[in-house]
Amino acid sequence: MKRNTPCARCLLYSLALLLILPTMRGQSTQGLDTLQALAEVAVQGYLSRQPLLQTPASVSILNTAQLRSHTQSTLLPALNLLPGVRMEERSPGSYRLSLRGSLLRSPFGVRNVKVYVDEFPLTDAGGNTYLNLLDPTAIERVEVLRGPDGSLFGANSGGVVLLDLNGRQQDSSQVALGLSGGSFGLLHQHAGLQLAGKKSRFTFKQAYQQADGYRRHTAMQRQYWQVSERLRYGKNNSLQLLAFYANLHYQTPGGLTLAQYEADPRQARPAAGPNPGAEAQQAGIYNKTLFAGLSNELWINAKLRHVAAIFTGNTNFKNPFISTYETRLEQNLGIRTFLEWYGREDARIRWKWNLGLEAQKGWQDIETFQNKGGAPGAQLAQDDLEINQLFYFSRLTTSFGKRLVAETALSLNTYQYVYAGWAAEGNRQLAAQWMPRLALSYLAAPGFSLRATLSRGYSPPGLAEVRASDNRINNSIEAESGWNREAGLRLSLWQNRLQLDASVFRYNLRQAIVRRLDDNGAEYFINAGGTRQTGLESNLNMWIKAPENSGFLRAWQLNASFTYSHFIFSDYQLSGNDYSGNRLTGVPRSVLALGTTLLFPQHLRLFVACNATSRLPLNDANTVFADPYELLQAKFSWSGLQLKKTVVAVFLGADNLLNQQYSLGNDLNAFGGRYYNAAAPLNFSIGISLQSGANRIQLKQ
């Protein structure tokens, strides 16, 4: 039965929880009124730490405690608690991610979002990001910068994601082990070692994950190894090394028609006409990637800092598909460097200036063969591609007294690709693009700030869009760009125990890039004219803590976010059809996400999350919509066993407690109406972890 109010159940669950809480507090109500202050939240992504309250940008943060509250086998539920963020999973291991936009450009993987791991871009020169290579337990902190932010991070029209893989606040030696399993053949194991000395910190992380998946032909397996070393020399200078290797394989079951989805949602894409099915062709992804980066931070004097980083990546990629078998050898090399110059801290007008550049060069050798039951057959195409990206950036942040913060930033972006293959050879140099950003933050009252931003987004076509699976070089596709206007507010009350963040924006995008499929399922990309994206994003965080050893309920944390997206095509005509005024494909009109954590005596913890997503259009014509859905998740954990300095924790988790049938990763504009990829129904997980040498994860920001 279809539901017209997808947020209703989440609201009912939240109200029920609020009614239950007073009875749980019992005699400890007085104690809960005398709460300790929480630490002020700081943003780390803008090259140096700054308080969130007066940061003139829309920023969301997930710390270690929030990440570990969810299942440790995927990032998806944690990221989907954030406003303006939509992460999808077509099958285990196949992730897609969008910030303030659509997944029209992302059949799989992550595009049009710039992702960094520590100081190094994970997004390659071709614009693609293999986010699914990282094991979730390797990530200690996530910062999401919503909206175009090319002033420091180069070409993007959606936003930036910053991943901390080292845990900057942890300076003790420790060992961590974990093992979990669950429904549909899930097995996840991870281990970590950190050795901290007076001037160095070495970290090793290892993880293994496998799953059979709910649908047929959805098995996945990932092996992950990571090493990092941070060496301090001199008074404040440091050298950092980060490297990881991942070996990932997952099967791709393919999309289903509505009739197939309703008859048997577990089936893989069956044979149709001359095309065999996904199982017969052993469709899947094989990805072996080695990534490494080295950065140096040098304080030239007390007011001048220089950071330089070099990084490289090598990927061996294979993709047997329904009709073809594609192999890619990808190499990437880059550098990122900047200066940071501070003014006097005791001056009435304080300033900080950044000046730097980031350059990447990528090489890809792509070969396409016929797919003979999961093995390469006759060769169909071969192309060698080279891509060059370079941008210069400058940013000046000025604080006038204690209330007004102004930021002016500008980057100059260049983009070029060269191709040579069977069909054609040549090169294309896109015109250099300026990406300005102006932002203001005003502290209107203690704990209350207002902000406004004007910024330009720009995103050239990625290499996977220039040379898509139709084996053609598309020289006609243009970069998308547009202006984003935004206003917002932040509120922090009761010694940071209640925090509210809200923003409204209008983003007018020109030459929006969308994905289309031919009758063989091969993809190609076109420009869809323009889009007009108007939205509202809000986030509420609240913490309640009792005094030490007081009452039955020791702590309560609530996180609630709401996203409203009025995104439409403003000018889009294709093959005689006018889609102007239609809703932007793949974008739900509203999303309500709620997460709450209850901490009881004896280190008992209950986490409950609900996500209510409204219906969304599956094609540009808006003739087919996916039904709304409501996901309810819970995780109960106990960490009361401590052996000397080793903490032992166990957990039991449940996903999709309402047992809903829904598709968490739809194939947009799919040929033949094959839109649907069924997600798992009610499923469970159980696990155990040991951590030695570190404190338990605390319920705080």
Determine the Cα–Cα distance for residues 139 and 165; give it in Å rounded to an integer. 5
Determine the Cα–Cα distance for residues 91 and 95; give it in Å rounded to an integer. 8
- Using DSSP, state whether 462 is helix, strand or coil: coil
Give the residues of the chain that fall short of pLDDT 70: 1-40, 106-109, 168-171, 518-521, 548-550, 694-701
Yes or no: say if 567 and 532 are a contact pair by the CB < 8 Å rule. yes
Q: What is the pLDDT of residues 278-308, one digit of tens each?
A: 999 999 999 999 999 999 999 999 999 999 9
Determine the Cα–Cα distance for residues 154 and 600; give it in Å rounded to an integer. 46
How distant, in Å, are the alpha carbons of 70, 308, 505, 604, 675 from that of 297? Answer: 34, 7, 36, 42, 48
**How far, rounded to the nearest angstrom, does the alpha carbon of residue 322 sit from its chain's CA centroid?**
28
Domain ranges in the chain are 8-692
Determine the Cα–Cα distance for residues 294 and 647; give it in Å rounded to an integer. 33
Query: Is the pTM here over 0.95, yes or no?
Result: no
Q: Of 361, 293, 369, nearest to 328 (Cα)?
A: 369
Question: Please, what CATH class does the domain formed by 8-692 belong to?
Answer: mainly beta
Yes or no: say if 594 and 580 are a contact pair by the CB < 8 Å rule. no
The pLDDT mean for the chain works out to: 88
Q: What is the pLDDT of residues 73-82, one digit of tens each?
A: 899 999 999 9
Q: How many C-beta atoms surround the C-beta of residue 23 within 10 A?
A: 9
Q: What is the pLDDT of residues 348-390, one digit of tens each?
A: 999 999 999 999 999 999 999 999 999 999 999 999 999 999 9
Determine the Cα–Cα distance for residues 306 and 237; give it in Å rounded to an integer. 10
Residue 652: both structure tokens together: 């039991």
The backbone torsions φ and ψ at residue 218, rounded to the nearest 5 degrees and listed phi first, read -130, 25
pLDDT of residue 71: 84
pLDDT of residue 555: 87
- Using DSSP, state whether 608 is helix, strand or coil: strand
DSSP 473: B
- Using DSSP, state whether 44 is helix, strand or coil: coil
Terminal-residue alpha carbon distance, the chain? 40
